[in-house]
Structure 1
Amino acid sequence: MGCRYYSTVLLLLSLSMPMIHCQGPVPTITLEHLDPTLPPAGLAGQVPKCSIIVLQQDFAETVGSPPASANYTHPRECPFPWTRVILELSLSASDLQRDRVAAVWIDGVEVLRTITPLPMAPGAFWTIRKDVSRYAALLRRLGDPSYTTARGHGAISMMLENSNSPGHLPGIYSANVSLHFYRGATMTTAAAASAHPNTRGLYHEPADVILPVSNPAGYRGSDGFWFRIQNETHVQTASIAIPMNAYRAVLEVFVSYHGVDELWYTNPLRTSYLHSSSTANLSSPRANGGFRQLYANIDGQFAGGHIPFPVIYPRSINPFFWSPVASIGAFDMPSYDLDITPFLGLLLDGRMHEIGLGVRDAQPYWLVSANLHVWVDLWSDAVRAGLMSYFVPPLKMNRNAEWRNQDGQSEIDAEGLWRFTGWVSSSRGNLTTSVRQKIKFKSQIEVQNRGAVTQVEVNNKERMMVEVARGHQTLGRAQMLMEAPLQVQTTSVSAAGGSVFRKSRLFHQLLESVALSEGQAMATSTLTDRQDAEGSSLMRGEEPVWGSGATRSSYKYRDDNTCYLRSVNTAGGVIMTDTTSPSCVAEA
C-alpha cells in the first residue's frame, strides 16, 4: 500500500517529523478528508439505477443568510419503489477556513447534519454518503407532478453559515448535493441501515407521512429551519396536526451545540454553581458541569429524551487530530429516535398540538429540529388510541465539586428511567406499544497545577426497548444498548505572543448493540467505533498556529450476515495505514 499525503503536511514543515518512505512511485498529493465508517448498507458493487444532482452552491459570506434552495424534479427513469436512496454531499474548501455546521433539508425536513473539517490549506475536499431511504415519502411526494410547495420555494435546501475574511479565512465552501436511486436486492438486515441505534429496524416500511418540527420561517429566515435553544428553560415548539388514521409515530431529533456549549462534555462543575440559585451569578458560564439531556414534549408533557453523543468538533482538543480523519459522528451527526406511538391518543383529534424541543442544563446555544415520522392506516378514516401508563420519575442527580481557585475536581452522576405504554386500534388490530428507556451518566473532571493540567472522564450508558404486542402475544421488539466513554488529558503552557502550547491525549468510543425480533425471527448487530489520539498544538486564541497529531481509528460493524472492519492510522496529516475487510478474518 502506498502513502497518501494531506494538507496538514504543508503546515508541519517546521516540526521535527519522522521521514516516511513509500514503495513505488512518488505519491500524488491529495487533500481528501475521510470518515472511516460503514458504507451505505447493502450496496457494495451495485450501480444506481439513476443519479441526479439536486443542488449546487458556493457558500462564501453566508452568516445570517437563509438556506440555499433549489427546485426538485424527479427523474422519470426512476419511479417509486426504490430499494435504497443514497444522499451524497460533496464539499470542497478553496482556502483556509474554520469548521462550520451545515445541513440538508428535503421539503423542510432535515435529512443530514454535518460539521465540516478544518481546512488548513487550499483545496481540501470530502464526500458524505447517507442512506435516506427512511425519507422516501418526501421524495415520492415531490415526484408527484401535481404537488407544489405551499411556501412557493425550492424543495431541496442546504445551509452552511460561512464567514469570508480575505487574508485571514478566505475559504469558500462549494457543495454538490446528489441523490442515487437503487433497485434490486440489497442487504436485508434492518439494523445495518444506520450506525446509531434507532427504532426504524422494527418497522419494515418507511413512514407514510413525514412532518417537519422546525422553524416555520425556514426558507427565508436567518436561522434556516433550525430552532435555537439559549438556556435550560428555553423550549422551542412547533404546531403539528397529524392524520387521524395514524397508527404509529416516531419523532427523530437532530441537535448540534455551539458557542459557550461547544465543549459541554468537558465543562467543570464549580462549587459556586451548587450554591447559586442563578447561573447569572457565576463568573464563568461554563461552570454548570458536563451533563446535558435532549428531550421532547407533547403539549408540555415529557415524551422522551437522550443524552447526546459528544461529537468532537475539528477545532476541539487538538485540531491536528482531525486532519485528515474526522472524529466519530462529525460527518454524519447522529439523530435520536423517540417512539411516541403511546401518545397517539393525545394527538388523534384533528387539532393542532405543540411538539416542544429542549436541552436540560443548556447554555447558549444549541441548534435543534425534528421530523415526525407517521404511519397511516389506509383502510381506516380514523384510528382510536389511548395512553395506558406514564411513568416518568425525576432524574436522580448527584453533583459534587471541590475547588480552590483554579484547581479542584467535580463529579456528576445521573440516572433516569421512564416507561410509556399506549394502545392503538386500527385495521391491524388492537396493538399495544411499550417504550422503556434507562440512562446512566457519569462525569469526572480534575484540574491541577494552577489550571495547567486537566483530566476529563465521561461515560454515558443507555438502554432502550420498544415492544409491540397484540394481547399477550409479542409481535415485535427492538432492544438497543449504547455506551459512549470519553477520556481527555490536556497539559497547557503559556508561550510567546499570548499563544498556548498544549499537549493532549484522547480516548473516545461508541459501543452499540441492537437486537430485533419479530415472531420467531431474530436479528442482531453490534458496532464498535473507537479513536485514540495524542499530539501537541500551538494555539493563538481559537486558531491553530502549528502542531502534530497521531490518531488511530478502529471501526467494526457486525450483524448476522456481515462483519465489516476498518482501521485507519494517521500521523502528521498523513494516512499511514488504511485497511478494510468485509469479514472478521482480519481479527484472527
Structure 2
Amino acid sequence: MHRHLFLLPLLLIVCKASFLPPPVAAASSLRRIPATNITLETFDPTLPPALMSKTPPKCSLLVLHHVFANTVGEPPAIANFTSPLACPAPWTRVVLELSLSASDVQKDRIAAVWVDGAEILRTATPLPMAAGAFWKVQKDVTRYTALFRRLCSSGGTAGHAGAVSMMLENSNASLPGVYSANVTLHFYRGPLAGAAPNRFAYMAHPMAKDIYRRPADFIIPVSREDGDCGSGFWFRLENDTNPPPAAAVAVPRNTHRAVLEIFASYHGADELWYANPLRAAYDGGGATANGAFRQIYATVDGRFAGGHIPFPVIYPGSINPFFWSPVSAIGAFDLPTYDLDLTPFLSLLLDGQPHEIGLGVRDGQPYWLLAGNLHLWVDPWSDTVAAGVIDYRAPPLKVNRHAEWRNSDGGSEINAEGTVRFSGWVSSSEGNLTTTVRQKVKFRSQVEVQNRGAVMQVEMTNKERTTVGVLQRGAATAAARVQILVEAPLQMKTERVKAVGGAVFERARVSHQLQEVVNLNENGQAVAVGVLTDRQEAEGSVLRKEGEGAAAAAAVLPVWGSGSTRATYKYRDGSSCYMRAVSAAEGVVKSDMTSASCATAAAE
C-alpha cells in the first residue's frame, strides 16, 4: 500500500544528483520589461489566512529548499522528511506554506509538491516582470494528515524518514530568472482559537467537500511510481487516449469509504482550451480548433467512475499578464482538485489484489498533467468488510457541437449535459450503509470570431449538482447527505491589432466567477450550509511580440502593458462570514478591505 515508502532508499541512491542545487545561468541579453509601477509581491485574495494569528503553530518545519534554474527534463528536487518529534500526531491542523521568489524576468511555470509520491499542492507561478518578485502560497493540508502521521512511530517517540519532492521545470535558455523555493509545514495541536465548530472545521477551506468528520486513514497515490527519478509523479496525457494512463493500487480489505482526488493542469495546445473554437481562425488551422469542452474523468479497471468539467483557471501569463500583477487569478496559486466518491465501487476493489485506477481528459489535446490521491477510511474493528454494487448508470455526456463559419470569421457553440448515478452498499462495524452518488452537469460554451480573427468573444458557463447520500439499512432518512452546487461562468473579449515591428497590440476584458453552495444534512436535519462566491473583473491592454495565435501569444513575454482588476471573495456559513475586496490597477493595489461582518458581506 505504501509503495513509495519502500522505494525511498533506492531513490536516494539513484537520484542523488537531484539533491544538488542547480547552477544559476548567466543573465540574458534580451531586453527586459520596464519595472515602472510593478509591485514585487503577488498575492491571492481568496481564503482567510491558513496560518491563524490567534493560535500559533505548535511547531514549524522547513522541509525543502531548492533553486530551480535549468530544470527542464530534470527529476524533482527531493528532501528527507521526518515528522517533528516535538509535536507528534494527532494534529488539529497542518498547513503547507510555499514561499517563492524570482531572481529576474521569467515566464510563468507550473509547480507541484508531493509527499512520498502523493501530491498535496499544484500551483502556478506569477509572471516575474522584474528582479526580486516574490509570493507565497498557504494551503491547509489537514486532509493529508495520513501522509504525515505514517512517518511517526506508533508511540510518537521516533520518526520514519520520508521524501518531500517539488517539481518546477524552468529554463534559462532565453530568460535569466531562477526560482528559489522554501516548503514549510506548520503543525497545530489542541483547540484553534476562532475556529468555527462546524463539520467543515478540520479544514481551513470552508468548502470541504466531504461528509465525514475526519481525514482519511490512508492515502494511496495514483501517479507514476518512478516520479522521483523521472519527470515528476504526474501522468502526462498527450490526447484523449483509450484506455487512459493508470496506476495499480491495492486497497485494504477493511476499507468502507473511498474518495479519489484528481489534480489537473493543462498546457501547450490546451493552455487556453476554454477559448478554443470549433474551427481554426487566426490560429492557422492548428490543433486548437476542437472546441472549448473538456471533461476530467476516472476509471476503475476500465469502467467509467465519474468526472468533472474543469474550472478554467487563467494562468498568470495568459490573456494579459498585467491583470494578474499583483492579484492572482482565481485558482492559479492553488489549482482546484476534483473529488469522485468511489465508495459505490468498493466491491470491485476489496479482494486484496491490485486494480487499475485510470485518469483521463475527454477531448484533451497535448498536453495535460494528471495525478490523483485515493483517500481511504478503514474499519478498525474488522479485517474485512463486505460490499456490493446496487446501481450503475453512467451514460456519456450528450455533447452537441454547432459551428457557422465564413472564411476566418464565424461562431462555435457547444452544449453538454448529462446525469450519472452510482450506488453501492458496504457492511462494516458501522452497519450496512448504502452510498449513492448522483451528478448532473449542464455546460455551454460560445466562441465568436470576427474581423478576420482579430476579435474573439468567449462565453462559458458550467453548472454541476453533486449529491452524496449515505443510508442505513432500515432507516427512513439518510444518515448523512451532502449536496454541492457549482457554477463557473466566464466571459472574455479580446481585440488584436498588428503594430509596427511585427508586434501585436491586444485589448481584453475578462469576467470570471466561481460559486459553490454546500448543504450538509444528518439524520434529516440541516447541519451546515456554506456559500462561496469568488469573482474577478479585469480589463487592460498589452503589446506582445507576434505569436502564432492565442496559445502562442500566451507564451510570449509582453513588451508593454496595463491592466486593472477587481476581486471580491465572499464566504458565509451560518453566522460566520468572511469577505475580502481588492482593487488593483497598473500593478499597484488601490484598495484592500477584509471584513468578518455578515452585514457587510450581504451589503456588498
With normalisation by structure 1, the TM-score equals 0.90
Residue in 1 aligned with 2:417?
Answer: 415
User: 1:456: which partner in 2?
Assistant: 458
1:22 corresponds in structure 2 to none
Distance 2:336 2:124 in 1: 11
User: For 1:219-234, what aligned pairs fall within 5 Å after superposition?
Assistant: 219-221=228-230, 223-234=231-242
327, 338, 341: which one pairs with 2:340? 338
Superposed counterparts of 1:511-526, under 5 Å: 511-519=515-523, 520-526=525-531
Q: Distance in 1 between matches of 2:135 and 2:55?
A: 22
> Residue 479 of structure 1 contacts residue 515 of structure 1 at CA under 8 Å; is this kept in 2?
yes
SS of 1:43's equivalent in the other structure is: coil
Work out whether residues 35 and 129 of structure 2, in 8 Å CA contact, stay in contact via their aligned partners in 1: no
Does structure 1 conserve the Cα–Cα contact (< 8 Å) formed by 2:486 and 2:514?
yes
Structure 2 unmatched runs, 5+: 1-31, 548-555
Provide the C-alpha distance between the structure 2 equivalents of 1:507 and 1:521, rounded to a whole number of angstroms.
34
Please state if 1:199 is matched with 2:209. Answer: yes
Q: Say if 2:271 is the partner of 1:266.
A: no
Distance 1:194 1:512, change over 3 A: farther
Give the structure 2 partner of residue 135 of structure 1.
144
Q: Following the alignment from structure 2 to structure 1, what is the Cα–Cα distance between the partners of residues 163 and 567?
A: 37
Q: Deviations over 1:493-518 (max 9, x none)?
A: 00111110000001000011001112
User: Deviation per CA, 1:388-441, whole angstroms, max 9, x where unpaired?
Assistant: 100112211111001111100010000011000000001111000000011110
Q: Give yes or no for contact 1:110–1:370 (8 Å, CA) kept in 2.
A: yes
Structure 2 residue corresponding to 1:549, chosen from 544, 560, 563: 563
* Alignment partner, residue 500 of structure 1: 504
Q: Contact 2:572 / 2:578 at 8 angstroms: preserved in 1? A: yes
Aligned residue identity for 1:118: L
Residue in 2 aligned with 1:476? 480
Query: 2:371, 2:440 → 1: CA distance?
Result: 23
Change (3 A) 1:494 1:195: farther
Rate the CA distance shift 1:566–1:297 in 2: closer, same or farther, 3 A: same
Within-5 A mapping of 1:189-588: 189-191=198-200, 193=203, 195=205, 199-200=209-210, 202-221=211-230, 223-234=231-242, 235-270=244-279, 283-471=285-473, 472=475, 473-519=477-523, 520-540=525-545, 541=547, 542-587=556-601, 588=603
CA contact (8 A) 1:71 1:156 kept: yes
Q: CA RMSD in A?
A: 1.9
For the pair 1:177 / 2:183, whether they are aligned, the reply is yes
What is the CA–CA distance in structure 2 between the aligned matches of 1:191 and 1:378, rounded to whole Å? Answer: 23
Q: Which residue identity lines up with residue 524 of structure 1 in the other structure? A: V
Give the conservation status (yes or no) of the 8 Å contact 1:505–1:535.
yes
Equivalent residue for 1:11? 34
String of CA shifts for 1:162-208, please: whole Å, max 9, x gaps: 0013xx411110000001111232323344636585532x1111111
Q: Would the aligned equivalents of 1:196 and 1:334 in 2 still touch at CA under 8 Å?
A: no
Task: Give the drift of 1:147.
Answer: 7.4
TM-score, with structure 2 as normaliser: 0.88
Match of 1:115 among 115, 120, 124: 124
Q: Residue 143 of structure 1 aligns to a residue in which SS?
A: coil
Q: Deviations over 1:63-110 (max 9, x none)?
A: 011111111122211011111000000000010000000000111100
1:527 partner amino acid? L
Q: How far apart, in 2, do the equivalents of 1:135 and 1:454 lie?
A: 42
> Are the counterparts in 1 of residues 33 and 559 from structure 2 also a CA contact under 8 Å?
no
Q: What is the DSSP-based 3-state SS (H/G/I as helix, E as strand, rest coil) of the residue aligned with 2:460?
A: strand
Seen in structure 2, the aligned counterparts of structure 1 residues 271 and 88 have a Cα distance that, compared at 3 Å, is closer
Are residues 375 and 117 of structure 1, via their aligned partners in 2, closer, same or farther at CA, if it must alter by over 3 Å? same
Q: Give the Cα–Cα distance (whole angstroms) in 1 for the partners of residues 513 and 215 of structure 2.
A: 30
Q: Is the CA contact 2:94–2:186 (under 8 Å) kept in the aligned structure 1?
A: yes
Letter in 2 for 1:572: E
SS at match of 2:288: coil
* Partners of 2:98 and 2:583 in 1: CA distance: 25
CA contact (8 A) 1:196 1:512 kept: no
Is the 2:83–2:160 Cα contact (8 Å) retained in structure 1? no
What is the match of residue 25 of structure 1? none
Matched residue type, 1:427: S
**Contact 1:198 1:337 (8 Å CA) reproduced:** no
Q: CA deviation at 1:11?
A: 2.9
- Mapped to 1, the partners of 2:81 and 2:322 lie a distance apart of 39
Task: Please state how far the C-alpha of 1:524 moved relative to its aligned partner.
Answer: 0.6
Cα distance, 1:327 vs structure 2? 0.1
Distance in 2 separating the partners of 1:30 and 1:572: 9
Aligned residues of 2:207 and 2:530 also touching (Cα < 8 A): no
Query: 2:224 touches 2:232 (CA, 8 Å); kept in 1?
Result: yes
Moved more, 475-484 or 225-234: 225-234
The percentage of counterpart residues that share the same residue type is: 62
Task: Select 2:67's aligned residue among 58, 68, 71.
Answer: 58
Alpha-carbon distance in 2 for matches of 1:353, 1:10: 51
Residue 10 of structure 1: how far off its partner (Å): 7.7
Q: Which amino acid aligns with 2:186?
A: H
CA contact under 8 A between 1:311 and 1:327: conserved in structure 2?
A: yes
Distance in 1 of aligned mates of 2:118 and 2:91: 20
Structure 1 pair 562–44 and aligned structure 2 pair: CA distance change class (3 A):
farther
Question: Who is 1:276 aligned against?
Answer: none
Q: Which deviates the most, 186-195 or 541-550?
A: 186-195
Q: 1:474 aligns to what SS in structure 2? A: coil
**Partners of 1:36 and 1:411 in 2: CA distance:** 33
Change in Cα spacing, 1:367 to 1:271, as seen in structure 2 (3 Å) is closer
Give the gaps of 5 or more residues in structure 1. Answer: 1-8, 18-28, 273-281
Q: 3-state SS of the aligned residue for 2:489?
A: strand
CA apart distance, 1:534: 0.5
Deviation (angstroms), 1:39: 2.2
- Who is 1:275 aligned against? none
Tell me if structure 2 keeps the 8 A contact 1:445–1:455. yes
CA contact (8 A) 2:82 2:160 kept: no
**Secondary structure of the equivalent of 1:61?**
coil
2:48 is matched with which residue?
39
Give the distance between the partners of 1:120 and 1:548, measured in 2 at CA: 13
Check the 8 A contact 1:271/1:403 in 2, yes or no.
no
Amino acid at match of 2:584: T
What is the CA deviation profile of residues 303-348 of structure 1, one whole-angstrom value per residue up to 9, with x for unaligned ones? 0000000000011111110101100000000011100000000000
Render the CA deviation track for 1:453-487: whole Å, top value 9, x for unaligned: 11000000000000111023311011100000000
Query: Can you list the C-alpha shifts for 1:113-156, whole angstroms capped at 9, x where unaligned?
Result: 0000000000010111100001111101112377767xxxx511
CA distance in 2, matches of 1:522, 1:381: 32
SS of match in other structure, 1:564: strand
Q: Taking structure 1 as reference, are residues 255 and 571 closer, same or farther at Cα in structure 2, changes over 3 Å only?
A: same
What is the distance in 1 between the residues matched to 2:338 and 2:151? 25
Q: Distance in 1 between matches of 2:531 and 2:90?
A: 29
Contact kept? 2:250, 2:352, Cα under 8 Å: yes
Q: Distance in 2 between matches of 1:226 and 1:118?
A: 23
Which amino acid in structure 1 is aligned with residue 169 of structure 2?
A: E
Q: Tell me the secondary structure at the aligned position of residue 585 of structure 1.
A: helix
